[in-house]
A and B are shown apart, each in its own frame.
Chain A
Amino acid sequence: MTQIDVVGLTKRYGTTLALDGVSLQAREGELVSLLGPSGCGKTTTLRCMAGFMDPDAGDILVDGTSVTRLPPQKRNFGVVFQNYALFPHLSVFDNVAYGLAVRRLPKAEQRARVADALAMVRLQGLEDRLPRALSGGQQQRVALARALVIRPRLLLLDEPLANLDARLREEVRWLIRDVQQQSRITAFYVTHDQAEAMALSDRIAVMKAGRVAQFATPREIYQRPAEAYVARFTGDANIIPARPRDRTADGGFHVPFGGVMLPVPGVDGIRPGDPAMLMLRPEALSLIDPGAEGVIPALVLGTAFLGAALACEVSLADGTRLRLQASPHAPVQPGMTVGLRVDTAHAWLMPDVLS
C-alpha cells in the first residue's frame, strides 16, 4: 500500500533544537516504533508527520509525494492519541463515524463501515454510549476504530497504551498488532516503553535529543546497539569502559577484561587502542566454580530473589561492578567469591560516544 519517507526533519523551539535532522522510512505494511525518553523528539516527529506542526526543514513523503505542505485534514492519516481525544459530546457511533460524516458519505455506508471498524477492534453493542461511560480499554478501542474507519494511508499512534493499567496494556497491545497486520496499514508508533516497542515493531528508531540514534530491527537494536545510550534504553546492560587490543580473525576485537582477553564482536568502525564501551547483557554472564580454568574471579556484593531468577551484583578485582541473573537455586550469598564466565557471543563492543 504505502511507503513513507521522512527526510531530515528539523524543528526548533526558540533556541532549543527539538528535531535535528530526523530521517526514517517505513515500507508498506511495516510498523515502525519511535522509542526514547520524554523530550527526545519522538512525539514532535509524530506531530510533524500528522501535520499538527510544521517542521522548519525536511520533508515527509508518501509513496514519493511530499505531504509536508498539506494540512492534516488533507493527509488522510489516522491518528490515535495518548489520551484518546474522543469527542466527549458524541456517542461511540458518532465518534467512529466522524471522519465519514465529514466526508459526507451516505448514511448507510457510514453505518456499515462503522460496524466493520468496531468489529475489528472487538467492541460491539456500545454504539450509543458516550465516551465518559466507557472504560479506558474501551475508549482506546473506539479511538483505534475511529482512526481506521477512514481507511488511512498511514496510522500514527502516540503512546496509545500509556494511560492503561498493566494488564489491559498487554491485551490492547496485541489487539493493535493484530489490527495493523490484518489491515496491512503502514504505522508509526511512539512509545517510551522498550518492551512494548520490542513486541510490536518491525523496526525501531531509538531517538536521542532530537536525532535518531539507531534505526534497525528489535533484534539488532538489542544485540548490536550502535552506542551505549541505545544499549541502556533497550534493556538491562552492564556497560564497561574498555580498550580493544586488536582485531580477531572473524572481524571482532580482542578486549582485555577482568584479567583475561575476550574475543567479542562489535561496531566495525572502532580502531584498536581507542577507548570503547563493552556491553554485557545480564544473560551473557554466568556464575561457575571459581576454581575452573579461565574464569574471572568475582566477589558477590548482594543478591535479590526475583522468583524466576536470582539477581546478583558482583565486583571484579579492579573494582568493576556487574549485574547478572543466576539460577534461583544458585547457592550464592553476599561476601562469597565466585567465578564469572562471559558468553562472548552475547557481548558487544561499541564506540565511546558521549551520551
Chain B
Amino acid sequence: MSCHEGRVAARAAVRRLLPRLLLGLPAVALLTLFFVLPYVEMVAMSFRAPAFGQPFGSGHTLMHYGRALGDPIYTGALLRSLLTGALITALCLVISFPLALHLSRLQGRWHVVFYACIVSPLLIGVLVRNFGWMVLVAVDGPFNRWLLAAGLIERPFRVLFTQGLVVMALVHVFTPFMVLPIATALRNVRPELRDASASLGAGGWETFRRVTLPLSFPGVQAGVTLVFVLSVAAYVTPALLGGQGIAYMPAVVVRELIGSFAWPFGAALAVIMAASTLAVVTVFTLATHRLAERTRG
C-alpha cells in the first residue's frame, strides 16, 4: 500500500469512527473542566500571595513552600502521614493476600457470597464504617465488655482517639481496594501453571513461592499504589477517630483552608503532600520495575 492510499484509508476510518469519538466529548469536557483545571488551579493557588480578610491576594510568591518545608510542625505531619500510609498499606497487604487467595479459589455460589462480603463495604461510606468502630470499641462497647467478661483486662481501656484505632479503621476502609486487584491477578494465573509446577516436582509451598506469588505481582502493585495514595490523603478517619492529639497532613491542610482561610498556604501544603506521595509511588514503581515487566499480562 502506498503512503497516499494509507492516508486515504486512515481518513476513511476516522470518518467512520468520528461520530463515536464525539460521544466521548462531554465526559472529556467534564473532566478537563472540573477535574484537570482544578488541579492546575491548586498548583497556581500555592504560588499566590496571602492576604488579610480574604482567601488570597494578588501577586505571586514562593514563601508558602519555604514556610511549609521549614517548619517541623508541617514536615512532621507530612512524615507521619507518609509513614502511617506505608504502615496501613503493609497491613492491608498482609490481610488482603489470604482473602484474595481464598476468593480466587472459590467457585459458583460461595464465590459470590464472599465476594459480596468484601465488596459491600466499598459501597458504604467511610464515615459509617468508622462509626462502626466507634460503637465496637466504646468504653462500654462490646470489645471491652467481652474482654472484661473473659477476665483478660481489669478495667475497660480507652481505644477511641488513639493512633492504633485510626490505623485499624483505615486498614478496614482500604482492604477491599487491595483484595480486588490481587484476586483478579490470582484469577489470571492459569491453573495449568500450578499443575506444570507440580509435575516438575514442586510441592504446594514451592509452587506458591515460585509461581503464584510472583504472578500475583501486577495486582499487588496496583493495590499497594492505590491504598498508599488514598491512605496518605485520608481525612475523615483521623478527624473522627484520632481526636485532637495527633496531626496528620490532611487535617493540617483542611484546617488551613477552612479554619484559617489561608488558601495559598493550604494549597502549598496539599501540593507538597501530593508530590511526596507521588515520589514514594515512583520509587516503588522503579524499584519493582523488573518484576512488573516480567509479570504483566
Contacts and interface: CB of A to CB of B under 8 A. Distances in A.
Touch test A–B (CB under 8 Å): yes
Interface of A: 50-52, 71-73, 75-79, 81, 83, 85-90, 98-99, 101-103, 130, 146-147, 150, 156
Contacts of A79: 195-196, 199
A102 B211 CA distance: 12
A73 B211 contact: no
Contact of A81 (B192, B201, B203): B192
10 contacts: A79-B199, A83-B192, A85-B193, A87-B193, A87-B210, A89-B214, A89-B295, A99-B202, A101-B210, A102-B197
Given A78-B199, A83-B192, A102-B201, 16 more contacts: A72-B195, A73-B201, A79-B195, A81-B192, A87-B197, A87-B211, A87-B215, A98-B200, A98-B202, A98-B210, A102-B197, A102-B202, A102-B206, A103-B201, A146-B196, A147-B199
A187 B283 CA distance: 50
A50 B215 CA distance: 24
B198 interface: yes
Interface centre among A50, A71, A73 (most CB of B within 10 A): A73
Interface residues of B, number: 20
Given A50-B195, A72-B195, A87-B193, A150 B201 contact: yes
B210 A85 contact: no
Contact of A73 (B203, B210, B295): B203
Contacts of A85: 190, 192-193, 195-196
Contacts of B210: 87, 98, 101-102
Contact of B295 (A52, A76, A78, A88): A88
Given A88-B215, A130-B294, A73 B198 contact: yes
B199 A77 contact: yes
Contacts of B214: 89
Nearest to B203: A73
Interface centre among B197, B198, B202, B294 (most CB of A within 10 A): B198
Contacts of A76: 201
A89 B203 CA distance: 19
Contacts of A146: 196, 200
B198 A71 contact: yes
A340 B215 CA distance: 64
Interface in B172-213: 190, 192-193, 195-203, 206, 210-211
Interface centre among A51, A79, A88, A103 (most CB of B within 10 A): A88
Contacts of A89: 214-215, 291, 294-295
Given A88-B295, A98-B210, A52 B198 contact: yes
B200 A150 contact: yes
A87 B203 CA distance: 16
B280 to A, nearest CB: 25
A51 B210 CA distance: 20
A150 B295 CA distance: 25
